[in-house]
């Protein structure tokens, strides 16, 4: 029964939909409509919501692999302890399946635009190209080689798309993105169902260049010359200017088909009782006297019944916050949380005993809002990447120190877009920055500080997939892997996810060719092209 309920909840998250005003239009099946009576704008909203609303797809793996969250509950063992736990391994291929569905919506949207009036829909077509790159970057970063040049071309007769080499995908994405941005025109009709920017073309230009920067910086280990070229192009073009440029999808708590997927997941009783902020994150915030410590976490009220009561707020006093160490369980053996160093004990007694009662959970009012916003790409991320590019000596507008300060401040400020309760005073932000200026004594020291802040920013924004991608690229933070009995990675943090399991049946020749190019095969420990082992 629990599995059925679990699957049903996830299914609800990924039904098409967005705002109340758009739901009826979006839920019209375009395959049963004609180009004249179906608005292609609605497919943009559908793709945007489904792209953003990942829910368990990022919680089960990336959130705990990156030691932002920790959990003792069994299906989180997949990410927390690198164990293939039951049928939850299917979530490894979910971004592949979901991503190509989203990309298909975008291509269908563009075809409808061309059939109706390509000139009038020029901005929507080019925003579609930007969205296609956004979606495909996540797919290729997750798995490696994948269909790009032949993706979603079944109507053109391509039923078995080749898996392009990731290097070729990156070259194509940067070129396609640059071309799409150049064709955006503020004087032409704007999209009417845009969840990111409500059709603001100037913001889409900044989004395009900010995405270009992120793609460019992914290449720092494998092609620094290309990374520099495209990062400089993005900087010159104009990236996000402040947090008002953040790409955010606002979900609808009153409509089950468009609620916040992470909030749905974490409101499941066992998740609510057993998902906590990781000790790694909380210790880092405490060590640096970070003001975010007092706004992101709360200690649950005492006792198991209170731990599971979503209507009773916890205590957010920063002095009380304590992170749960990754790699523990509640099974009573040597890896039981009660055997962890400095275990603080539980709360309550007898049948009302809560073994995790003294550990910090994500603050309910901030992170468990069914209508809460979802961050897609933020000013903080962009400024921190510009800081890194500048620290590397590239020709970037502005100094590394200033971009770093902007990025850290932007990360603080972005939390208020989740909930006004997270506001940190400007004086506190200024004091934090004065106490933690960017260390320019060496490039290594600079990159470490910048990417540690990127980890905190994306982690506290619940953007766990990007958090993991940037760790693979930068190497920061220097996490201590979990070596739990029975893990399948030899005690190492996964470097990629496995392909969608049905690909071996539906596209066997191209799937096998891609797997053959992976050292070690289609496994969690294989590395994608931009993440070489050096």
pLDDT value for 36: 63
Token pair for residue 46?
């559908």
What pLDDT band is residue 326 in, cutting at 50, 70 and 90? very high
In a shared domain, residues 195 and 329:
no
- Position with higher pLDDT, 223 vs 30: 223
pLDDT value for 7: 36
Domain that holds residue 222: 2-63+85-256
What's 373's DSSP letter? E
In a shared domain, residues 145 and 176:
yes
User: Is 345 within a domain?
Assistant: yes
Residue where a domain terminates, one of 312, 338, 367: 367
Q: Is the pLDDT of residue 357 over 80?
A: yes
User: Is 374 within a domain?
Assistant: no
For residues 350-383, b (16+ Cβ closer than 10 Å) or e, as one string? eeeebbbbbbbbbbbbbbbbbebbbbbbbbbbbb
User: Is 494 within a domain?
Assistant: no
pLDDT value for 157: 87
Residue where a domain terminates, one of 200, 226, 256: 256
* Torsions phi, psi for 43 (to 5 deg): -75, -25
pLDDT value for 14: 37
- Position with higher pLDDT, 7 vs 193: 193
Q: How many domains does the chain have?
A: 2
pLDDT in tens, 394-430: 999 999 999 999 999 999 999 999 999 999 999 999 9
In a shared domain, residues 206 and 118:
yes
Q: Is the pLDDT of residue 390 over 60?
A: yes
pLDDT in tens, 251-297: 999 999 999 999 999 999 999 999 999 999 999 999 999 999 999 99
The mean pLDDT of 236-263, rounded to a whole number, is: 97
pLDDT value for 296: 98
Residue where a domain terminates, one of 236, 256, 276: 256
Q: What is the CATH number of the domain that holds 247?
A: 1.25.40.390
User: Directed axis angle between helix 443-460 and helix 464-474, to 10°?
Assistant: 170
In a shared domain, residues 99 and 190:
yes
| Helix (H), strand (E), coil (C) string for 59-99 | HCCHHHHCCCEEECCHHHHHHHCCCCCHHHHHHHHHHHHHH
User: Is 431 within a domain?
Assistant: no
Q: Is the pLDDT of residue 33 over 90?
A: no
Q: Is the pLDDT of residue 87 over 80?
A: no
User: Is 407 within a domain?
Assistant: no
pLDDT value for 406: 98
In a shared domain, residues 240 and 97:
yes
The mean pLDDT of 133-158, rounded to a whole number, is: 94
Token pair for residue 372?
């809460």
User: Directed axis angle between helix 443-460 and helix 400-414, to 10°?
Assistant: 20
3-state class (DSSP) for residue 374: strand
In a shared domain, residues 187 and 152:
yes
In a shared domain, residues 247 and 321:
no
In a shared domain, residues 20 and 118:
yes
pTM for the structure as a whole: 0.93
The mean pLDDT of 485-505, rounded to a whole number, is: 96
What pLDDT band is residue 2 in, cutting at 50, 70 and 90? very low
pLDDT in tens, 446-467: 999 999 999 999 999 999 999 9
In a shared domain, residues 324 and 180:
no
Share of the chain above pLDDT 90, in %: 90
User: Is 508 within a domain?
Assistant: no
User: Is 12 within a domain?
Assistant: yes
In a shared domain, residues 185 and 220:
yes
In a shared domain, residues 167 and 245:
yes
In a shared domain, residues 229 and 301:
no
pLDDT value for 6: 38
pLDDT value for 4: 34
User: Is 523 within a domain?
Assistant: no
Beta-ladder partners of 297: 362
| Helix (H), strand (E), coil (C) string for 498-513 | CCCCCHHHHCHHHHHH
The mean pLDDT of 136-154, rounded to a whole number, is: 95
pLDDT value for 3: 37
């Amino acid at each position: 029964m629990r599995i059925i309920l679990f699957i049903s909840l996830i299914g609800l998250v990924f039904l098409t939909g967005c705002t109340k005003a758009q739901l009826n239009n979006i839920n019209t099946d375009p395959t049963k409509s004609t180009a004249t009576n179906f608005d292609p704008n609605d497919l943009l909203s559908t793709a945007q919501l489904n792209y953003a609303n990942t829910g368990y797809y990022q919680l089960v793996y990336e959130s705990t692999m990156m030691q932002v969250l920790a959990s003792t509950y069994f299906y989180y063992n997949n990410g927390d302890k690198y164990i293939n736990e039951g049928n939850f391994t299917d979530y490894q291929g979910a971004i592949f399946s979901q991503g190509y569905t989203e990309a298909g919506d975008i291509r269908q949207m563009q075809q409808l635009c061309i059939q109706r009036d390509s000139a009038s829909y020029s901005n929507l077509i080019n925003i579609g190209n930007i969205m296609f790159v956004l979606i495909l970057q996540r797919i290729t970063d997750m798995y490696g080689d994948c269909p790009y040049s032949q993706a979603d071309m079944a109507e053109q007769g391509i039923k078995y798309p080749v898996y392009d080499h990731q290097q070729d995908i990156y070259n194509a994405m940067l070129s396609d993105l640059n071309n799409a941005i150049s064709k955006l025109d503020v004087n032409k009709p704007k999209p009417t169902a845009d969840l990111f920017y409500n059709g603001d073309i100037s913001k889409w230009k900044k989004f395009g260049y900010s995405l270009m920067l992120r793609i460019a910086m992914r290449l720092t280990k494998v092609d620094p010359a290309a990374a520099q070229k495209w990062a400089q192009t993005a900087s010159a073009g104009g990236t996000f200017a402040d947090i008002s440029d953040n790409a955010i999808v606002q979900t609808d708590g009153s409509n089950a088909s468009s609620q916040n997927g992470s909030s749905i997941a974490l409101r499941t009783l066992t998740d609510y009782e057993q998902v906590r902020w990781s000790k790694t994150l909380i210790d880092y915030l405490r060590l640096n006297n970070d003001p975010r410590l007092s706004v992101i976490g709360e200690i649950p009220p005492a006792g198991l019944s209170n731990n599971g009561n979503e209507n009773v707020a916890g205590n957010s006093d920063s002095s009380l916050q304590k992170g749960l160490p990754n790699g523990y369980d509640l099974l009573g053996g040597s890896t039981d949380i009660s055997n962890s160093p400095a275990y603080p004990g539980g709360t309550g007694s007898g049948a009302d005993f809560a073994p995790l009662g003294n550990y910090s959970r994500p603050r309910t009012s901030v992170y468990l809002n069914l209508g809460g916003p979802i961050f897609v790409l933020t000013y903080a991320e962009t400024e921190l990447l510009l800081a890194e590019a500048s620290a590397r000596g590239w020709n970037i507008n502005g100094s590394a120190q200033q971009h770093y300060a902007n990025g850290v401040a932007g990360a603080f400020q972005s939390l208020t877009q989740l909930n006004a309760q997270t506001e940190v005073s400007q004086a506190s932000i200024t004091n934090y920055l004065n106490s933690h200026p960017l260390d320019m004594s060496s490039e290594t020291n600079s990159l470490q500080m910048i990417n540690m802040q990127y980890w905190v920013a994306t982690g506290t924004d619940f953007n766990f997939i990007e958090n993991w991608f940037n760790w693979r690229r930068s190497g920061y933070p220097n996490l201590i892997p979990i070596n739990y009995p029975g893990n399948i990675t030899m005690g190492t943090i996964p470097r990629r996810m496995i392909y969608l399991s049905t690909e071996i049946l539906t596209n066997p020749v191209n799937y096998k060719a891609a797997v053959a190019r992976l050292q070690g095969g289609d496994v969690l420990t294989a590395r994608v092209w931009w993440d070489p082992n050096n």
